[in-house]
Structure 1
Amino acid sequence: MSLVLPSELVVDRFLPTVRAVLARRLSERGMTQNEIAAELSVTQAAISKYVAGEAGGDGRFRNDPDTIATVDRLAEGIHTGSMDGYDALAELLALIHRLEDRGPICELHETEMPELQGLGCDLCVRGLDTDVRVEREVLADVRSAARTLATIPGMAEYVPNVGTNVGMALPDAGDETDVAAIPGRIYSMSGRVEVPANPEFGASSHVATALLAAKAAGPDTRGAINVATDDRLLEAARSLGYDPLAFDASYEDRADRLETTFRDRGAVPQILYHEGAFGIEPITFVFGATATDAADRLQELVETASN
């Protein structure tokens, strides 16, 4: 685990960049390096490097319009004497707050601490969110399910041309942004199953549509995987006591039609499939209480189909 505080990034990456840009702005306005060093509370040698462009800095901040606009205000205020230290500090703190709210600091934090990626983390601006733990658990479950798919012998045969995905919904999911899945979908290459990225919320409308309809009819169904429709899998499902349910492949009003179908049946099937249509590849959905539950069920189907 990499534990990185946002404040570390502010000190190590943001402030040096702002000081470098601000030093050059003040130099352009005719202030001496000693005067600039006194204003920024750094050494004259540091200012010399800043002005010469040798101090580098982070491009996320150096090219950020909000940061540049704030630095320009600071430079003008310091140069003209219209802004004192309190005013300058207030400007910088307000800028940091904005950059932490899904801005460059937040982006950099996710890069330095990958555990935050895909969480929509807003700890810096809103404090501890009790829902974050649930979101993390869902993301971890999808990640585990994806790893399972990648290790099932023969799984690559059942990855459709459009790709496979595995998803899991939050307990109170209302739309596809509440369903975590793999961005870019899972695909097969040279007989292997490749998982291209870590799961994120809102990454798959395809799986989310079927999963949200299933969850509306049966709240305990929160995980789903799509694979290619294959007679071997369907026969394996029947031999294991499942009752696969066929549905119309059309995308039009699919969510409403599926929800009605599930309610009419009186339960959400473990296996749902269609035979395709013009421009629509035949697809089967495997449902479960969680994403890992769906993955375990799919593994059982694939292994049975191989025997």
Structure 2
Amino acid sequence: MSLVLPSELVVDRFLPTVRSMLATRLAERGLTQQEIAAELGVTQAAVSKYVGGESGGDDRFREDPETVATVDRIAAGLAGDEMDGYDALAELLSLVRTLEDRGPICELHEEAMPELRGLGCDLCVRGLDPDVRAERDVLANVRTAARTLASIPGMADYIPNVGTNVGMCLPDPRDETDVAAIPGRIYAMGGRIEIPANPEFGASKHVATAVLAATAVDSEVHSAINIATDDDLLAAARAIGIDPLEFDADYEDRGDHLQTQFADRGTVPRIAYHRGAFGIEPATYVFGSTAVEAAELIGDLLETASQ
């Protein structure tokens, strides 16, 4: 893994772009290249390149509304003697913090370090506090589980028409926004598993309902994955010692119904299923302490069913 600090991107990509933008704005306001050089702390030759459009930089900053507004504000302030270097620096530092919070700097950082994609990285903004680490760990686990599903031979045959999703919650979840899942769900196409996006919190109300019902009864159960109901898989579950729970599909409040079923059993089963109802496709939920654990159980079921 290559280690790239966001500050490196600020120096290499952000500053040249902003200096170029400022030089152009100040030139438009009548400042000479020598005066612009003094304001920006660069050479007159550098200003000449900036104004001539030879500075390079990154268009993501040039097109970012916050950057454009800040540069215009600084240029007006410097040209009108209403702002000094200290004020301009304060404006730029505030802008950098904004752009690091899921903005262009964050985007560039994820390009430089692909390992950060899909992890909900907030290091620049909040630091690695326990809450951020928990969120990152959940997102990483869901992403790994989705990839695990995609690698299971024959898995495409068990993706329901409505799609499959992988859900995992934070400790002590309050609602569906504390459950991470795949936006748009996982679907099968041409015998292959397609994962449309990296996981996000609040991305699926459907699978979050099952996760929240399960963790309300057993705080060690944090994940659920929905797949198609199939008798061979249910038989495979019984063959490896799992007693699936059947529940009714036609309930307006699925979460309360599931929670009641789990409480009546006295535990959250590893597998719960229904056989559908009018307008409701049959579905099976596979539960686990983590999303990866639930995905691995699905792999075991498919392997057992194929024997």
**Are the counterparts in 1 of residues 144 and 292 from structure 2 also a CA contact under 8 Å?**
yes
Q: Determine the structure 1 residue equivalent to 2:29.
A: 29
Q: Determine the structure 2 residue equivalent to 1:15.
A: 15
Q: Determine the structure 2 residue equivalent to 1:179.
A: 179
Q: TM-score, normalised by structure 1?
A: 0.91
Q: Determine the structure 1 residue equivalent to 2:136.
A: 136
| Range 191-200 or range 162-171, more displaced | 191-200
SS for the counterpart of 2:285 is strand
Please state how far the C-alpha of 1:274 moved relative to its aligned partner: 1.5
**Does residue 1:147 correspond to 2:143, yes or no?**
no
Q: Which amino acid aligns with 2:270?
A: Q
Q: Determine the structure 2 residue equivalent to 1:225.
A: 225
Please state how far the C-alpha of 1:251 moved relative to its aligned partner: 6.3
| 1:129-278 matches, cutoff 5 A | 129-250=129-250, 252-278=252-278
Partners of 2:21 and 2:205 lie apart in 1 by 43
Please state how far the C-alpha of 1:4 moved relative to its aligned partner: 1.9
**Are the counterparts in 1 of residues 121 and 136 from structure 2 also a CA contact under 8 Å?**
no
Partners of 2:122 and 2:64 lie apart in 1 by 20
User: 1:85-129 deviations in whole A, cap 9, x for unaligned?
Assistant: 112112212222222233332333333333333443332233331
User: 1:22-62 deviations in whole A, cap 9, x for unaligned?
Assistant: 11111111112222122212222322222223324323321
SS for the counterpart of 2:141 is helix
**Does residue 1:299 correspond to 2:292, yes or no?**
no
**Are the counterparts in 2 of residues 33 and 44 from structure 1 also a CA contact under 8 Å?**
yes
**Are the counterparts in 1 of residues 118 and 140 from structure 2 also a CA contact under 8 Å?**
no
SS for the counterpart of 1:285 is strand
**Are the counterparts in 2 of residues 182 and 197 from structure 1 also a CA contact under 8 Å?**
yes
Partners of 2:2 and 2:132 lie apart in 1 by 18
User: 1:190-211 deviations in whole A, cap 9, x for unaligned?
Assistant: 2222334433333322211101
Please state how far the C-alpha of 1:158 moved relative to its aligned partner: 0.6
SS for the counterpart of 2:249 is coil
Partners of 2:148 and 2:123 lie apart in 1 by 31
Partners of 1:147 and 1:69 lie apart in 2 by 41
Please state how far the C-alpha of 1:7 moved relative to its aligned partner: 1.1
**Are the counterparts in 2 of residues 117 and 200 from structure 1 also a CA contact under 8 Å?**
no
Partners of 2:30 and 2:169 lie apart in 1 by 59
**Are the counterparts in 1 of residues 223 and 291 from structure 2 also a CA contact under 8 Å?**
yes
Q: Determine the structure 2 residue equivalent to 1:116.
A: 116
**Are the counterparts in 1 of residues 251 and 257 from structure 2 also a CA contact under 8 Å?**
no
| 1:43-58 matches, cutoff 5 A | 43-58=43-58
Q: Which amino acid aligns with 1:282?
A: P
Residue segments in structure 1 that go unaligned for 5+ positions in a row: none
Please state how far the C-alpha of 1:2 moved relative to its aligned partner: 3.1
SS for the counterpart of 1:70 is helix
SS for the counterpart of 2:153 is coil
Q: Determine the structure 1 residue equivalent to 2:288.
A: 288
Q: Determine the structure 2 residue equivalent to 1:67.
A: 67
Cα distance change of structure 1 residues 105 and 271 upon mapping to structure 2, 3 Å threshold: same
User: 1:237-290 deviations in whole A, cap 9, x for unaligned?
Assistant: 233332222223246221122112211221111111122233322111111122
Partners of 1:151 and 1:64 lie apart in 2 by 39
User: 1:120-153 deviations in whole A, cap 9, x for unaligned?
Assistant: 3332233331233333333333233223222222
Partners of 2:92 and 2:144 lie apart in 1 by 42
**Are the counterparts in 1 of residues 217 and 259 from structure 2 also a CA contact under 8 Å?**
yes
SS for the counterpart of 2:26 is helix
Residue segments in structure 2 that go unaligned for 5+ positions in a row: none
| 1:63-102 matches, cutoff 5 A | 63-102=63-102
SS for the counterpart of 1:203 is coil
SS for the counterpart of 2:193 is strand
Cα distance change of structure 1 residues 126 and 138 upon mapping to structure 2, 3 Å threshold: closer
Q: Percent identity between the aligned chains?
A: 73
Partners of 2:272 and 2:239 lie apart in 1 by 16
| Range 179-188 or range 11-20, more displaced | 179-188
Partners of 2:170 and 2:282 lie apart in 1 by 27
Say how many residue pairs are matched. Answer: 307
User: 1:198-225 deviations in whole A, cap 9, x for unaligned?
Assistant: 3333332221110111011111111221
SS for the counterpart of 2:287 is strand
Partners of 1:90 and 1:199 lie apart in 2 by 35
Partners of 1:57 and 1:252 lie apart in 2 by 55
Partners of 2:185 and 2:220 lie apart in 1 by 24
